[in-house]
Amino acid sequence: MANHKSALKRIRSNESKRLRNKYQHKTTRSAIKRLRELTDKKEAEALLPSVISMLDRLAKKNVIHTNKAANLKSTLVKHVASI
């Protein structure tokens, strides 16, 4: 167990950040899945910018690696273009 006030605060803040990151990551994964399942091009093109924004936000906060975000965005753009 932590002995200092700052260590206790760090434990609390890490837990809240972990939960927030987990929620945002799961939401983004669900949005990606939804985008991949779409068959209508107009709907996919409408959803694509929000998914890209989510990926950029996760990469900026180091929840996912920058290159992983770039690879996901690339494949999603290709997928939408091929519909």
Q: What is the pLDDT of residues 40-58, one digit of tens each?
A: 999 999 999 999 999 999 9
pLDDT band at 26 (very low <50, low <70, confident <90, very high): very high
pLDDT for 10: 94
The structure's pTM equals 0.83
Alpha-carbon distance of 61 to 37, in angstroms, equals 27
Domain boundaries, position 38:
5-82
Q: Report in angstroms the alpha-carbon separations of 82 from 55, 56, 69, 70.
A: 21, 23, 20, 18
Where residue 23 sits, what CATH number does that domain have? 1.20.58.110
Number of domains in the chain: 1
